[in-house]
A and B are shown apart, each in its own frame.
Chain A
Amino acid sequence: MTKLGAGVPDSIQGSVVRRGDLVFRRLAKGAGLAVLVVLAAIAGFLVWRSVPGLRANTANFLTSTAWFPDQSPSRFGIAAIAFGTVVTAALALLIAVPIGFGVALFIAFYAPPKLATALGFIVDLLAAVPSIIFGLWGLQVLMPHLGGLQRWLNDHLGFIPIFHNSLGIYTKSLFVAAVVLGVMVLPTVSAISREIFLKVPHSNVEAALALGATRWETMRMAVLPFSRPGMISAAMLGLGRALGETIAVALILSALNVVNWHVTEPGGNTFAANIALGWNEAGPIGLSALIASGLVLFVLTLVVNVVARSIIWRRAEFHEGL
């Protein structure tokens, strides 16, 4: 009998190891492990290299605002840079998240198709602009123009401590850095949340409309709940970028290690900017101190991500198979 193609196997008995399956399985496993190995290697490196500095430190590493690791005795602490990092990142998110979601909702649901395509393209383009460009723009263009706004905040909202400015100087402040970070993070938040909004099943939008929901009610009923995990992810990725952003912040801040709640006054520093600015001049203990601060930033971003994940998973039952 002539066979067409391979035909049926002679027997279904016996187990065969198929090479394609094996290679693929090992590659997939290896890739998964590689991520863990890299993460562990980074953590290990940070811990290992930060020990000498932490040993030499005579100040409290967590509560001191001083950063004089190479002096004798060595004194340094992360209070000021942690404060600057968290405040600028939080303010940046406060600016970027509402606007970013708004832009994304407009592109996904309100804009006419041609405008939506053009706008989406521009947002993607903005997300790809290198941070040094944002930094220069912030320094040269934004900072001079933010003086008026900060003065206005002081004059009219000065009773709120963070907007109070007793110096009358409005440059090189955490506020300026936060606005630049906000502008940087905005396209990231917007691009990701737009993708999320576009994934909302059309049938759910129609279901809401057919129930007599208005446009906004449709957003609240069908779009936002469905998109919530993705929106949180978008915000967290933005936060990650804001926490770790180096060059733009380093250009703008005056690298003064102080904890100052008056965010429109000059001064303040962040983990990343402190490392970038201090690295070249640091001695052995100084390098170790900077690595120790890097370890804290590493842990901080890890915690942010874990918290974000746990929010996403809290109602996992309602998102199975989505």
Chain B
Amino acid sequence: MAKRIDITNVSSYYGKFEAVSDVSLRIEPNAVTAFIGPSGCGKSTLLRTLNRMHEVVPGTSVTGEILLDGENIYDDTVDPVNVRRTIGMVFQRPNPFPTMSIYENVAAGIRLDARRMPKSELDGLVERSLQAANLWNEVKDRLKKPGASLSGGQQQRLCIARAIAVEPAVLLMDEPCSSLDPISTLAIEDLIDELKNNYTIVIVTHNMQQAARVSDTTAFFNLAGIGQPGRLIESAPTALIFSTPGQKATEDYISGRFG
């Protein structure tokens, strides 16, 4: 079940340094929201704040409120482990577990669940996840091979399969295509388009064409200068952002006059 995310006055810090400041934004379910902006504008930090991965780095902190279908994920009673099981993540560089086979990689998240799943049921889930990630046909004959034996694009789709195997409500993608070739990128973009039927998707990208192609809503982030916190400049339907941006800074950025 896709869930809505409401971000209210969120700031994320590394020690005393404010990486992203005072963001308020609504992320709709069953839609793709793209975060764009120059390097260092805090878009990846904000993404990691959404599933409480930001706090994994020592010395970091977050202020503000993030509601997942009305539930504050930063509430004291909330277990970050459960947040991360609900909000999946795909990273910039493909990171399959090198010691696991393709099959084991997909099953990794499911095996975390306390309940033991019968082999046949697990087989089915692995197959469905790989199919959903458009990887099944390429790997079905070598599920026992190491995940690291796949090409970069296949590895990234394997990571997507691993993330969706646990059936999260939200899928966060941190520049998922930045280390991939154009054909693999296209495969992933097609996949994102299919996945939004079932998930809320947030994607950070440096590639504006990609944001224009895959997203329904685009949020533009910017920073006033080096050492300044990143801020949300504006967020609007993607078609609008790329045709008639509301802010001068957005227009400069997407037309390539900046950053």
A320 and B99 alpha carbons, distance in the complex (Å): 10
Q: A226-B98, A322-B98 are in contact. Are A113 and B58 (CB under 8 A)?
A: yes
Contact across chains for A207 and B53 when beta carbons are under 8 A apart: no
What is the predominant secondary structure among interface residues of chain B facing chain A?
A: mixed
Smallest Cβ distance from B68 to chain A, in angstroms? 14
Contact across chains for A213 and B112 when beta carbons are under 8 A apart: yes
Instruction: Check B159 for interface membership: any CB of A closer than 8 A.
Output: yes
Instruction: Check B84 for interface membership: any CB of A closer than 8 A.
Output: yes
User: Which of chain A's residues has its CB closest to B105's CB?
Assistant: A207
Instruction: Check B38 for interface membership: any CB of A closer than 8 A.
Output: no
Instruction: Check A203 for interface membership: any CB of B closer than 8 A.
Output: yes
Contact across chains for A212 and B81 when beta carbons are under 8 A apart: yes
User: Which of chain A's residues has its CB closest to B113's CB?
Assistant: A212
Contact of A207 among B85, B99, B159 (CB under 8 A): B159
Q: Hey, what's the 0/1 contact readout for B72-115 against A, CB within 8 Å counting as 1?
A: 00000000011011101101010111111100000011001000
Q: A112-B58, A203-B91, A318-B146 are in contact. Are A211 and B166 (CB under 8 A)?
A: yes
Smallest Cβ distance from A43 to chain B, in angstroms? 36
Contact across chains for B51 and A211 when beta carbons are under 8 A apart: no
- Interface residue tally on B, bucketed by range: 20 to 34
Q: Enumerate chain A residues within 8 angstroms of B3, measured Cβ to Cβ.
A: none
Contact across chains for B91 and A225 when beta carbons are under 8 A apart: no
Q: Enumerate chain B residues within 8 angstroms of A211, measured Cβ to Cβ.
A: 84-85, 88, 108-109, 112, 162-163, 166
Contact across chains for A212 and B146 when beta carbons are under 8 A apart: no
Contact across chains for A207 and B91 when beta carbons are under 8 A apart: yes
User: Which of chain B's residues has its CB closest to A200's CB?
Assistant: B98
Q: Enumerate chain B residues within 8 angstroms of A226, measured Cβ to Cβ.
A: 97-99
Instruction: Check A259 for interface membership: any CB of B closer than 8 A.
Output: no
**A contact residues, total (Cβ < 8 Å):** 27
Contact across chains for A210 and B88 when beta carbons are under 8 A apart: yes
Instruction: Check B224 for interface membership: any CB of A closer than 8 A.
Output: no
Instruction: Check B56 for interface membership: any CB of A closer than 8 A.
Output: yes
Contact across chains for A204 and B95 when beta carbons are under 8 A apart: yes
Instruction: Check A124 for interface membership: any CB of B closer than 8 A.
Output: no
Instruction: Check A222 for interface membership: any CB of B closer than 8 A.
Output: yes
Contact across chains for A204 and B97 when beta carbons are under 8 A apart: yes
Instruction: Check A214 for interface membership: any CB of B closer than 8 A.
Output: yes
Smallest Cβ distance from A203 to chain B, in angstroms? 4
Contact across chains for B100 and A206 when beta carbons are under 8 A apart: no
Instruction: Check A10 for interface membership: any CB of B closer than 8 A.
Output: no
Q: Enumerate chain A residues within 8 angstroms of B112, measured Cβ to Cβ.
A: 211-213, 217, 221
User: Which of chain B's residues has its CB closest to A225's CB?
Assistant: B99
Q: A206-B95, A322-B98 are in contact. Are A221 and B108 (CB under 8 A)?
A: yes
Q: Enumerate chain A residues within 8 angstroms of B162, measured Cβ to Cβ.
A: 207, 211
Q: Enumerate chain A residues within 8 angstroms of B97, measured Cβ to Cβ.
A: 204, 207-208, 221-222, 225-226
Instruction: Check A21 for interface membership: any CB of B closer than 8 A.
Output: no
A297 and B133 alpha carbons, distance in the complex (Å): 56
Q: Enumerate chain A residues within 8 angstroms of B100, measured Cβ to Cβ.
A: 225, 318
Q: Enumerate chain B residues within 8 angstroms of A221, measured Cβ to Cβ.
A: 97, 108, 112
User: Which of chain A's residues has its CB closest to B99's CB?
Assistant: A225
Q: List 6 other contacts, CB 8 Å, given A204-B97, A221-B108.
A: A206-B56, A210-B163, A211-B88, A213-B81, A225-B97, A226-B97
9 contacts between A and B (CB under 8 A): A203-B91, A208-B97, A208-B108, A211-B163, A212-B109, A212-B112, A225-B97, A317-B146, A318-B99
Mark B residues whose CB is within 8 Å of A: 51, 53, 56, 58, 81-82, 84-86, 88-89, 91, 93, 95-101, 108-109, 112, 145-146, 148, 159, 162-163, 166
List of 3 A-B pairs having minimum Cβ-Cβ separation, nearest first: A212-B85, A225-B99, A203-B95
